[in-house]
Amino acid sequence: MSKPLFLDIPPLLAANGTVHLPGSKSISNRVLLLAGLCSGSTTLHGVLDSDDTRVMLAALERIGCEVVRQGTTARITGIGGRLPVQAVQQEPIELFLGNAGTAMRPLTAALAMLQGRFLMTGVPRMYERPIGDLVDGLRQLGCDVEYAGTEGYPPLRIGPRALPTANANANANANAASTLFAQHSSLVRVRGDVSSQFLTALLMAAPLAGHTITFEIDGELISKPYIAITLNLLQRFGVTVQRDSDTGWKQFTVEAGAMYQSPGELHIEADASSASYFIALGAIASDPAQGHSITVQGVGADSIQGDIRFIEAAEAMGASVSSTPDSITIQRGQWPLRAIDLDCNHIPDAAMTLAVMALYADGTTTLRNIASWRVKETDRIAAMARELRKLGASVEEGDDYIRVTPPASAADWRHASIHTYDDHRMAMCLSLAAFNPASRSVRIEDPACVGKTFPHYFDAYFGVCQADPAHVPVLCVDGPSASGKGTLSTHLAKTLGYHLLDSGALYRIVGLAARRTGLLQDEGEPDAEAIARLAASLSIRFADGCVWLDGEDISDAIRTEQGGMDASTVSAMPAVRTALVQLQHSFRKAPGLIADGRDMGTVIFPDATLKVFLTASAEKRAQRRYNQLISKGFAARIDDLRADLQARDARDTSRAVAPLQPAQDALPLDNSDMDVKTSVQLVLDWWQDRQPFPAPEAHG
């Protein structure tokens, strides 16, 4: 199935809990590259696993680094400052770098210093993000970098760097060449007002030049804290950068003889920009009066990332924040939030989160000095202005600022389908709009775009958000055995980003848990009340066709013969049946639920938004079951299977308690002659008809 077109977030009420954030994008991609340029191996812990780091890792492998990954740990064996022979060839190696600025810019600089041929490509938006200032800097160092498309933008063609000594003395032997090389020094002028990543890239590549280079910044250097990250990490890899004594941001020198040295091992802190969404969440929705707070783990007061200073901005707006070296705890302080007027040049990424916090402020918020927003994943000033207006805010945009006035009253908030422009930060920060006082749901289009830096963002977000269950939509899929409920429900849950309840598996799970905890034994009378309490406390998840109990995949364990017998024992206990009703209700959590079973629409969720009653002829169902069994290597007879199914249908439909029958308001779906894709699409169309949003157009 294709990527979800949208994620509907129901109105949210409160936030409470702890979030473990993934690794920093800026640190991950820097240390991956530095490790790749070193000699020997470097073990990196806490590496971010996302689109941006995947393109970096793939590029490192293509240029000859060895990469071994296990979970969030990566061991990189570097190329020792020179390309392996096979990478120095006539045909350029194409490196696809998606939309990752932290891969495109630093890799371009490093590879341009070496002796290979490369074609640096990316997604269409990457071809609209300027890179001319970096190319100009590299050309001053004798690098061969050409534009393969539009002047000033990727894609780029890189050739072997002209060695200055080789030009000066074509017959010089290698030793003489390297001596001359070390004596040579360059002054490179580089503009710093479009992106700091150009200077970062040049600094990271400078040790490959073999001679002293001084970089002088033309114009104002933006996003300075990212340069501080670069200097810090270069130092960890043995390279010291000298700075001018005036402001420290005008001149940077890397001496001849600077060499990358692996630190052996390095721990990457969590992403401070990703933390901003949860800091804002705490400020908006973690009410201390209810004992609520949000804690983010993995980044804190000791962070080397500039976006940690988002905390100060959030505090200025009223957040109550406390930190340890590697965690941050946030609660609502002043409410409504205070409007601010802030120069955000030092926190360009996290500042987007302030624009959404501004929706909850007591006046007009102005975010200044953010011109770089216009050349990032999208034109972020224009995109933010357009989407905030859809929600009911008044927004003024300028070349380098945005001014946001919240909706005048609760009644002025609008149902909005938020276009995300393939920009992860648009999706993440606008998810915060679901706390609006009008209890309006918010649609986030193309939610998978968060994969750039935080693939599990929405799981983390909904893991700490609370909604009124009555506002959480439920889609019920009821029907007889082998009608394809499980397959349909799994696809629906994935496409809508909703939780899944496989109610048929619950008695088996309770039986397994009761046996494991000793409440169910071969001898003696089991304590039904204790098993009911256990049932109510279980942490169960249905995802990707598997059943998870406390994080363990128990899909096979519940399908044993013993599992079947234990399920039958516990299902006869009235207290367990009652507990299971509560347990089933507890699955109704934001953003929504797909409930698969036999009495979901009639008994458990009578107020569901949509009820589907799925059927197929006994012939077809028997055939499907037969195919399933045969593919698993079991013997089966179609006639027996059909007879069993018919007998079970008769029992299920005629039993006194919760008989299998369509709810009065259920839509019947006979999928006898329908493939899975068609039935999923049909149900999605029914679902869409019941939503307040127009269907979004498919994009990119």
Ligand X SMILES: C=C(OP(=O)(O)O)C(=O)O
> Of the ranges 118-126, 218-226, 622-630, 636-644, which one interacts with ligand S3P (CB under 6 A)?
218-226
Which of ligand X, ligand S3P, none does 222 bind, CB closer than 5 to 8 A by kind? Answer: ligand S3P
C-beta of 373: minimal distance to ligand S3P in Å? 9
Q: Choose which of 14, 37, 134, 222 interacts with ligand S3P (CB under 6 A).
A: 222
Per-residue binding string, ligand S3P, 9-28, x by CB under 6 A, is -----------------x--
The yes or no reply on residue 101 touching ligand X (CB under 6 A) is: yes
225 marked as binding residue = no
Catalytically annotated residue among 8, 307, 349, 446? 349
Measured over the CA atoms of residue 602, residue 603, residue 607 and residue 608, the dihedral's sign is negative
Cis peptide before 106 (omega within 30 of 0): no
Instruction: Give the full edge-to-edge strand order of the sheet including 667-670.
Output: 499-502, 593-597, 474-478, 610-615, 667-670
CB 364 within 8 A of CB 403: yes
State the Cα–Cα distance between residues 197 and 105, nearest whole angstrom. 6
349 marked as binding residue = yes
Per-residue binding string, ligand X, 296-335, x by CB under 6 A, is ----------------------------------------
Strands 610-615 and 474-478: parallel
* Bridge partners (DSSP) listed for residue 120: 95, 156
Measured over the CA atoms of residue 120, residue 125, residue 128 and residue 132, the dihedral's sign is negative
Per the annotation, the verdict on 522 as an active-site residue is no
Give the CA count within 13 Å in the CB-facing half-sphere of 662. Answer: 13
The yes or no reply on residue 262 touching ligand S3P (CB under 6 A) is: no
Nearer to ligand S3P, 318 or 348 (CB): 348
Nearer to ligand X, 133 or 377 (CB): 377
CB 119 within 8 A of CB 156: yes
> Of the ranges 221-229, 403-411, 429-437, 675-683, which one interacts with ligand S3P (CB under 6 A)?
221-229
Nearest in space to 197 (alpha carbons), one of 232, 215, 218, 223? 223
Nearest in space to 469 (alpha carbons), one of 599, 605, 597, 578? 605
322 marked as binding residue = no
C-beta of 354: minimal distance to ligand S3P in Å? 14
Nearer to ligand S3P, 122 or 597 (CB): 122
Question: Helix-strand-coil percent breakdown of the chain, rounded to 5?
Answer: 40, 20, 40
Classify residue 334 as left (phi > 0), alpha (psi -120 to 50) or beta.
beta
What does the DSSP assignment read for 255-275?
Answer: -TT------SEEEPPBPHHHH
For ligand X, the binding residues in 331-350 under the rule CB under 6 A are 349
290 marked as binding residue = no
617 marked as binding residue = no
For ligand X, the binding residues in 620-679 under the rule CB under 6 A are none
Neighbours of 408 (CB within 10 A): 11
571 marked as binding residue = no
The yes or no reply on residue 226 touching ligand S3P (CB under 6 A) is: yes
Q: Choose which of 165, 196, 489, 503 interacts with ligand S3P (CB under 6 A).
A: 196
The yes or no reply on residue 100 touching ligand X (CB under 6 A) is: yes
Written as six digits, the tokens of 544 are: 């990707």
Nearer to ligand S3P, 223 or 487 (CB): 223
The yes or no reply on residue 195 touching ligand S3P (CB under 6 A) is: yes
Which of ligand X, ligand S3P, none does 425 bind, CB closer than 5 to 8 A by kind? Answer: ligand X
E-only strand ranges, 398-519:
401-405, 416-418, 442-445, 465-466, 474-478, 499-502
Nearest in space to 75 (alpha carbons), one of 325, 266, 314, 321? 266
- How many Å from the N-terminal Cα to the C-terminal Cα in the chain? 16
C-beta of 101: minimal distance to ligand S3P in Å? 6
Q: What's at 45, amino acid-wise? A: H
223 marked as binding residue = yes
459: three-class secondary structure by DSSP: helix
Which of ligand S3P, ligand X, none does 479 bind, CB closer than 5 to 8 A by kind? Answer: none
Q: Choose which of 99, 366, 372, 417 interacts with ligand S3P (CB under 6 A).
A: 372
Per-residue binding string, ligand X, 417-456, x by CB under 6 A, is --------x---------------------------x---
Q: Choose which of 102, 303, 490, 671 interacts with ligand X (CB under 6 A).
A: 102
Which of ligand S3P, ligand X, none does 200 bind, CB closer than 5 to 8 A by kind? Answer: ligand S3P
Report phi then psi at 240, rounded to 5.
-100, 135
User: Total residues contacting ligand S3P (rule CB under 6 A)?
Assistant: 13
The yes or no reply on residue 483 touching ligand S3P (CB under 6 A) is: no
C-beta of 577: minimal distance to ligand S3P in Å? 53
- Output the 3-class SS for 155-223: CEEEECCCCHHHHHCCCCCHHHHHHHHHHCEEEEEEECCCCCHHHHHHHHHHHHCCCEEEEEEECCCCC
State how far Cα 421 lies from the chain centre: 15
| Binding-site residues from annotation for phosphoenolpyruvate | 25, 101, 129, 197, 380, 425, 452
| Binding-site residues from annotation | 25-26, 30, 101, 129, 195-197, 223, 349, 376, 380, 425, 452, 479-487
Residues that are catalytic: 349
| Binding-site residues from annotation for ATP | 479-487
Residues of this chain that interact with ligand S3P (CB under 6 A) are 26, 101-102, 195-197, 200, 222-223, 226, 348-349, 372
Residues of this chain that interact with ligand X (CB under 6 A) are 99-102, 349, 376-377, 425, 453
| Binding-site residues from annotation for 3-phosphoshikimate | 25-26, 30, 195-197, 223, 349, 376
